[in-house]
Structure 1
Amino acid sequence: MMHHRIFAPIVLATLCFASCAHSTPYSIKERHPVPDGWSLLRRAPRQGEIKLQIGLKQGQFHELERHLNEDPSHTRYGQYLTADEVSDLIRPSEDTLLLVQEWIEQSGIGAEKIVFSPASDWITMDLSVSDAEMLLHTEYSEFWHAESKTLAVRAPEWSLPGHLHSHIESVQPTSSFFHAAGLAAKIEFPRSLYVDRDEGAGNPDIKDLNQLAESLSGELSQSIDLDNLPSDLNARQACNTSAVTPLCIRALYGTLTYEAQASDQNAMAIVNYAGEFNNRSDIDLFLKAFRPDAARAGVAFNFQEDNIAGAVNQQSPATASQLAEKMGREGNLDAQALLGLAFPTALISYSVGGEAPAFDPDKYTPTNTNEPFLTWLHHVLAQKELPQVISTSYGDIEQTVPYSYAKRVCEGFAQLGARGVTVIFGAGDSGVGKDGYCRSNNGSENYEFLTSFPASCPYGTSVGATRNIEPEEVAHNERNGFVSGGGFSRYFPRPAYQDVHGVVESYLSRLGADTYTSLYNRQGRAYPDVAAQGYRRVIVWNGEKFLVDGTSASAPTFAAVVALVNDALIAERKPVLGFLNPWLYQKGFEAFTDVTKGSNKGCGTDGYFAAAGWDPASGFGTPWFPRLKELALERKFRSQRPWYWLFK
């Protein structure tokens, strides 16, 4: 009897496989509104092709998350997982795998089309639009995004057999219109540069545009030789807040005199989306002007490229249309910010392809079924060796992204963190929301603050932008509408690490329960976590110097500081920082200079004000590298992992 009781459910389940799929009615699994900016064109041609990605329920993600969120008080802290260990934790159950395969095959799709990810938590299939519609009981249409000239095939509503709802979490491309836009706003130099005379800090000897132009050719003043920097150079001597260079950042954040010790074992990375690229000639010009030691080492021409899904990291001159769309500006900013600060740390540039071609209404064009973060995550998570820090300067409004998609992407970032990678995001460039767009898309059209994704993901570190020095303040620029982003997620609850010292609740108490009532989710993941300079940063693009604003500058700047801390840790044979936030909120915040001036206005309000301690305008403030390195080196670690560590 005992044997029958044990095995009867398995026998019943096995018998069910032959009949349950067709006996369970379909019902809607997900419905998501088409975001503003996308227009319906027509029904998608049924003969078109789609790369369908099916996200299966992961087996023990809660265990991976528990490991990820442990702080230095735990004996397992710093003992990062291997790729195989992560795969073992998140591999779906056998029931999930069998039921989903049965459904696909009984729908008339051959088993040979099914391709599993290394952890078997994703299935990828190349299907016709017709087959995808049959499988998901949906209808695909072509949608056009005029601003980015993107054509996409999507299905805002799709269904599954009822018994699969708990086994399948996401299917894409369907309802996700994620638009990976760069987080940088541009001011041209010198033609349209407007120099504020009241910005205070930095080089009082520079009086006019001609002198400022001369300073951008290599030195900030005649007394500063970039090859022979004074040992006592401070930020006021090194910085001009009308044109912020690597020298300023290095002095301001304390990395100027640090000499890398483990660059052969350390790497940092950026990710290019939306057709962006990192032009090596522009990067070389930038380094010659602002980091000549890196230029002499030839790093602009030997950093590693990893091109994904047909991407091309373009090195030929930009075309007229690319120049008009400012293509390459974002990619150059990211690479120049990292190399300008963290040289000689190795740089890896990931470029993600699959972007849509220009739309031709008279001819059917192969469509973009690329989901940029998923495409990149599937590629990078399959690799055994990863860079220690990865910076991403792209995002979208959280509510425009279906929750199922955002959740699975965010869990992909968690896998990177569990493997010892620090994942960094820009916090957004529209404050608490761009005026005129602050409406819910859940059908109510309620007025509310907007949140940026993936900055709202609790498994990454979000970076806001600052401007000026001594003191720094929350960055904004009235001339181009840039305001550093921040706020509270409506998708992800506040993670436990943000409650360690009660910093978020403390801020909310000062804000007041009646302030912005109903405009934000008081219990949501709060961001940004930290901040860095993101105003009037000098870059070289298309052979000329420009100034840019945005958290696109702040994210790689902070990533460069993390890379240098990792260098010091590796040199001492200690684990790298990995997922930063649990330690940051417990102890690491002590190494940051508080920002207490300014706010991230938007949605017709003043937004959240900066305040003493953590705040949703500047996080904990900006890093001071010497103290950050000191605190990181003081962390205590258990020397070996016992065999039972995974189950503690």
Structure 2
Amino acid sequence: MYYYHCIFVLSVLATSLLGGLAKQSWEDMRTKHSWNAIPRNWESLGRPPSGTTIDLYIALKPQHENALVDTLYEVSEPGHPRYRAYLTKEQVAELVVPRPVTLKLVHSWLEHHSISSSSISMTHGGNTLMLKGVSVTQANTLLGASYQLYRHIESGETVVRTVSYSLPVALHWHVLTVAPTTSFDSPRTQWQTPRTRNRSDRAVKSTSGEPATMLSSRAKVDSVTPSFLRWLYDTESYTPNTQGENVLGVVGLLGDYPSPTDLTAFMQKYRSEAGDATFTVVDVNDGGYDPTHPNEEANMDIQYAEAMAYPIPHIFYSTGRGPSGTETYYMSWLDYILDQENVPQTISISYDNEELSLPREYAIYVCYQFAKLGVRGVSVMLASGDDGIGKGTCQKDDGTVRFRPSFPGTCPYVTVVGGTTDYNPEVAAALSGGGFSDYFKRPRYQEEAVTTFFQDLGSRYEGLYNASGRGIPDIAAQALGFRVFFNGNDQEEEGTSIATPVVAGIISLLNDWLIMTGQEPLGFLNPWLYGRGFQSLNDITEGSNPGCGTDGFSAIAGWDPVTGLGTPNFRNMLEQLF
């Protein structure tokens, strides 16, 4: 009865408010977000070509603001009565439905600006309106914006964006963000060709992938291959049993896609019994797929996901921005995947942006979309970055230094993978991204682990990071010296880009066992990892991640912002699931 009373009151308020707004102008605008200057590494090319249109996403605040995250924790925390009781696509939509007054206000505003109702649809799991094919001129009027064509100085990619946009004052409380507007996102791939390293102390110089001879202190391996990883993380004796129920998804952005020919050559050399490994390609928003012109990022991602999880089925999502580069990569892919009735149980993403390079409310919105995947039982793995705690001097516009953690990894609802090297024991790889979010507060599952780290850190780097922010990474894996096939060549690459599909492959094996035994998959991993799963990991206590002109954070016993809780031990993790 109380619920229906509240709905009645809201309806009355909405009618009253709309009546009031009808008597005043929708032109009472206030800035929603703006940059002081064109974001770093971008340049303006002037107005976009005549006739350019934009698909605008209007993210609406939900009626029950905490319902999504509360439900995510309920289905993700071992011991909770709803643990692994995942939701369907339709149930998620009900969970995030906007207030009736919000919908009425927004539709009234759009009607005032002559936006055709036929061009408006609900998307992104139930709390987003998409306006299809809005002209740039109309978007400028609607949002008090000045859209231009911008080019990324390093990649040459062009996008249609504005450095500022506004909304009517009456909508600020109802609308979280509008995109694409000020989100100058050009995701970075987290791999690199290895810098010259001193190999004189390598234990072996072989590409066979067999474990190297151990040294008295710690062992080094010349090349990281599937057989080495499967031995190191104890998956080699496990044979997956599911018949297509369990799927591993690998996300490609930036027009990246892999070569099936290179995958075959890679598997034949480094995991011969899996020479028939293959993958399905899904083209998302004009991502494209030309197997004769592969990309190194996509190749290494699919090769190591397959190497760890074969013969579990793999899907590669080739994701684009759409015509004229008007959409954001993250929203393009999330829009697609959240609309699917069936989604992969495990997903690997090896791209990121510096968190501070994106608008806060846009980052929050994207993060909520990942939470929707977790509620549906998906384990999402993201790379922590390859620049330690930040690239270069990390100076802000005002001259102050701020560490630069990577987004979407700073989102509390995904699992972030850092990097290690060597073995017996493994140590932190210097490139391993880590740090603390400026946008997202520390999640409750991290409270004890991060507090313990700060007790060791003391006042070091005070003021250079947000001590109350979400810490990354959560877990780690080997990140240096990988053998990868590209255009028929066997070459070496490194980065958390490859560590991420390695961990995703191991999680997919755990999901395989759960499904085989009639159970639900792991879903959002972090509450389990920090609650008890950490006991099954290999704790990393040596190394650091320098950056921003500093020595970076140090790996210590327990969690740290270099290697997280440690690296996987599949058999120990499997025992934790019993």
Instruction: Return the TM-score normalized by structure 1.
Output: 0.84
Give the secondary structure class of the aligned counterpart of 1:408. helix
Amino acid paired to 2:349: T
Q: 1:330 aligns with which of 286, 297, 300?
A: 297
Q: What residue number does 2:562 align with?
A: 617
Q: What residue number does 2:389 align with?
A: 432
Deviations 1:322-353 (A, max 9, x none): xxxxx610000100001111101110111112
Q: 1:79 aligns with which of 74, 85, 93?
A: 85
1:42, 1:6 → 2: CA distance? 47
Q: Label 1:406 to 1:4 Cα distance change in 2 as closer, same or farther (>3 A).
A: closer
Q: Label 1:164 to 1:520 Cα distance change in 2 as closer, same or farther (>3 A).
A: same
Checking the alignment, whether the CA contact within 8 Å between 2:389 and 2:434 is kept in structure 1 is: yes
Checking the alignment, whether the CA contact within 8 Å between 1:282 and 1:540 is kept in structure 2 is: yes
Give the secondary structure class of the aligned counterpart of 1:159. strand
User: Bigger CA drift: 519-528 or 148-157?
Assistant: 148-157
Q: 1:196 aligns with which of 176, 194, 199?
A: 199
1:566, 1:4 → 2: CA distance? 44
Q: CA deviation at 1:144?
A: 1.3
Q: Which runs of 5+ in 1 are unaligned?
A: 207-211, 222-232, 319-326, 356-365, 477-482, 635-648
Q: What residue number does 1:454 align with?
A: 408
Q: 1:411 aligns with which of 346, 350, 368?
A: 368
Q: 2:101 aligns with which of 91, 95, 99?
A: 95
Q: What residue number does 2:169 align with?
A: 162
Sequence identity of aligned pairs in percent? Answer: 37
TM alignment of 1:504-523, pairs within 5 A = 504-512=450-458, 514-523=459-468
Larger Rg, first or second structure (1 or 2): 1
Q: What residue number does 1:50 align with?
A: 54
Is 1:106 the counterpart of 2:112 in the alignment?
A: yes
1:617, 1:4 → 2: CA distance? 51
Q: What residue number does 1:493 align with?
A: 441
2:106, 2:52 → 1: CA distance? 24
Q: CA deviation at 1:292?
A: 1.3
Give the secondary structure class of the aligned counterpart of 1:412. helix
Amino acid paired to 1:305: V
TM alignment of 1:136-285, pairs within 5 A = 136-187=143-194, 196-199=199-202, 201=203, 203=204, 206=205, 212=206, 215=207, 219-220=208-209, 241-285=221-265
Amino acid paired to 2:248: M
TM alignment of 1:527-606, pairs within 5 A = 527-606=472-551
TM alignment of 1:282-361, pairs within 5 A = 282-295=262-275, 298-300=276-278, 303-316=279-292, 318=293, 328-354=295-321
1:270, 1:180 → 2: CA distance? 15
TM alignment of 1:111-130, pairs within 5 A = 111-117=117-123, 119-125=125-131, 126-130=133-137
Checking the alignment, whether the CA contact within 8 Å between 1:46 and 1:130 is kept in structure 2 is: no
Give the secondary structure class of the aligned counterpart of 1:100. helix
Aligned residues: 566
Amino acid paired to 2:173: S
Checking the alignment, whether the CA contact within 8 Å between 2:209 and 2:223 is kept in structure 1 is: no
1:484, 1:263 → 2: CA distance? 36
Is 1:627 the counterpart of 2:572 in the alignment?
A: yes
User: Bigger CA drift: 85-94 or 26-35?
Assistant: 26-35
Q: CA deviation at 1:112?
A: 1.3
Deviations 1:100-121 (A, max 9, x none): 0110011122111112216441
Checking the alignment, whether the CA contact within 8 Å between 1:61 and 1:89 is kept in structure 2 is: no
Q: What residue number does 2:429 align with?
A: 475
Q: What residue number does 2:417 align with?
A: 463
Q: Which runs of 5+ in 2 are unaligned?
A: none
1:286, 1:16 → 2: CA distance? 63
Deviations 1:567-608 (A, max 9, x none): 111111122111000111110000111111110001111100
Deviations 1:354-413 (A, max 9, x none): 26xxxxxxxxxx731120011110110011111100010000100001111110110000
Amino acid paired to 2:449: V
2:544, 2:60 → 1: CA distance? 41
Q: CA deviation at 1:435?
A: 2.0
Q: Label 1:534 to 1:103 Cα distance change in 2 as closer, same or farther (>3 A).
A: same
Checking the alignment, whether the CA contact within 8 Å between 1:154 and 1:173 is kept in structure 2 is: yes
Aligned residues: CA RMSD: 2.2
Q: Label 1:234 to 1:87 Cα distance change in 2 as closer, same or farther (>3 A).
A: farther
